[in-house]
């Protein structure tokens, strides 16, 4: 089959590889309904993470189970499933505490930018729908696997509540999903920081009430202006740079919470500064599995449409162009079809 392999910075190729096989009794093989490119795939693509060997790309997935290992009990061939990009047993103490992304057996999904993929820890990871979903729901179901689940976690970690004010730093796909999540959680005011018209429009569609196009100190000043000098109770940091993190911290009110889900690259915090700013920080790879059944229901019941975040659709053969378009910010997020 054809699959996506990253050979080095800027060098991603669609290549012939062998089809995945059951390697452990807890594995499942799925036939993907669609796949996509994640903002975090751009870190190695841009050379921010070292690439020492060819990487099998893709960790967002949904599709139909075609085979399961002998130990798999909860899903069976023919079922439509979604799984988190973090594979987890869903039974260890960390999973039971709601932090499946720190599962004792955690692995990260790979190889999902391909028509078939192996999903380890299938029982803990995969969630099946009751029926085969309609075709037009596929992009939104795919989004629950990571991008929506990650934006949701940012809002959850930032303590978004009914009637609260949330600031979203970052207008990438995750930031836009953070806006959607904050809206679903009942935030009254959702301030999206974005300088790009198409992303601003999508943020407004997903529920943003205000757009701030300034950055850095000017951006923080604008947030303060919009919040009567106070700052926001909840800030979603969806980028991962020092600049975005500083902006996020400065945008929160004392006692406010920052949920950070952009993988930090070159970010440090000064202890004394954090102490006197008196703001709460929680980040990490999102425990999507915690939210997955709920998010899938919202999609199947057509209450949310996160699939709108895909603004470029390509056949798998053109995956390189998909990466390029996202790298150049011509596309927010690329959907791959087989």
Beta carbon of residue 268, minimum distance to a second copy (angstroms, whole number): 6
* Cβ distance to a second copy smaller for residue 16 or 275: 275
Q: Which is nearer to a second copy, 128 or 282 (CB)?
A: 282
Query: Considering only CA atoms, which of 218, 222, 215 is closest in space to residue 241?
Result: 215
Residue 189 pairs in a beta bridge with: 165
CB of 156 to a second copy, least distance (A): 11
Task: In whole angstroms, give the CA distance from residue 253 to residue 197.
Answer: 28
The three-state secondary structure class of 171 is coil
Output the furthest CA–CA distance in the chain (Å, rounded): 60
Residue 311 CA, chain-centre distance (Å), reads 16
Closest by CA position to 107, among listed 42, 47, 24, 20: 24
DSSP class of residue 304 equals -
When computed from its CA atoms, the radius of gyration of the chain, rounded to whole angstroms, is 19
Would you tell me which residues interact with a second copy (CB under 8 A)?
A: 93-94, 97-99, 101-102, 157, 228-230, 233, 240, 242, 245, 253-255, 260, 263-272, 274-285, 287
Q: Which is nearer to a second copy, 77 or 266 (CB)?
A: 266
- Pick 276 or 294: Cβ nearer a second copy: 276
What's the token pair of residue 192? 């999206």
323 to 9, 64, 240, 317: CA distances (angstroms): 11, 26, 19, 12
Nearer to a second copy, 52 or 268 (CB): 268
| Separation between Cα atoms, residue 230 and residue 223, nearest integer Å | 9
Contact 109, 310 (CB under 8 A): no
Closer residue to a second copy, CB minimum distance, 29 or 245: 245
Residue 20 vs 159, nearer CB to a second copy: 159
Instruction: For a second copy, give the closer residue by CB, 18 or 275.
Output: 275
- CA-angle at 148, arms to 100 and 252, nearest 5°: 90
Is the CB of 33 or the CB of 100 nearer to a second copy? 100
DSSP string, 203-245: HHHHT-SEEE---HHHHHHHHHHHTTTS-EEEEEE-S-SHHHH
38/173 Cα distance (integer angstroms)? 8
CB of 237 to a second copy, least distance (A): 10
State the virtual CA torsion across 47, 245, 94, 24 in degrees, nearest 10.
-20
User: What is the rounded CA–CA span in Å between residue 69 and residue 76?
Assistant: 10
Minimal distance in Å, beta carbon 31 to a second copy?
32
């Amino acid at each position: 089959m054809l699959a996506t392999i990253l050979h080095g910075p800027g060098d991603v190729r669609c290549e012939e590889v062998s089809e995945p096989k059951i390697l452990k009794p807890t594995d499942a093989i799925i036939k993907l309904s669609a796949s996509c490119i994640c903002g975090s795939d751009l870190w190695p693509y841009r050379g921010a993470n070292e690439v020492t060997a060819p990487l099998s790309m893709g960790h967002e997935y949904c599709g139909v189970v075609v085979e399961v290992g002998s130990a798999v009990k909860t899903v069976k061939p023919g079922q439509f499933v979604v799984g988190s990009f973090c594979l987890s047993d869903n039974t260890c103490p960390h999973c039971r505490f709601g932090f499946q992304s720190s599962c004792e057996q955690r692995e990260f999904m790979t190889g999902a930018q391909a028509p078939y993929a192996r999903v380890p820890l299938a029982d803990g990871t995969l969630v099946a729908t009751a029926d085969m979903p309609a075709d037009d729901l596929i992009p939104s179901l795919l989004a629950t696997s990571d991008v929506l689940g990650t934006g949701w976690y940012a809002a959850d970690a930032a303590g978004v509540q009914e009637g609260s004010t949330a600031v979203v730093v970052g207008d990438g796909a995750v930031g836009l999903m953070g806006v959607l999540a904050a809206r679903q959680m009942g935030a009254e005011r959702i301030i999206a920081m974005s300088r790009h018209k198409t992303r601003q429009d999508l943020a407004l569609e997903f529920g943003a009430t205000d757009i701030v196009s300034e950055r850095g100190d000017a951006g923080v000043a604008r947030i303060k202006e919009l919040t009567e000098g106070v700052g926001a109770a909840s800030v979603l940091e969806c980028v991962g740079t020092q600049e975005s993190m500083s902006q996020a911290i400065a945008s929160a009110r004392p006692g406010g919470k920052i949920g950070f889900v952009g993988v930090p690259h070159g970010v440090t915090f000064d202890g004394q500064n954090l102490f006197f700013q008196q703001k709460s920080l929680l980040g990490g790879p999102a425990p999507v599995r915690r939210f997955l059944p709920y998010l899938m229901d919202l999609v199947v019941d057509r209450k949310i449409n996160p699939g709108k975040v895909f603004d470029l659709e390509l056949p798998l053969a053109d995956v390189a162009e998909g990466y390029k378009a996202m790298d150049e910010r011509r596309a927010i997020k690329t959907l791959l079809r087989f």
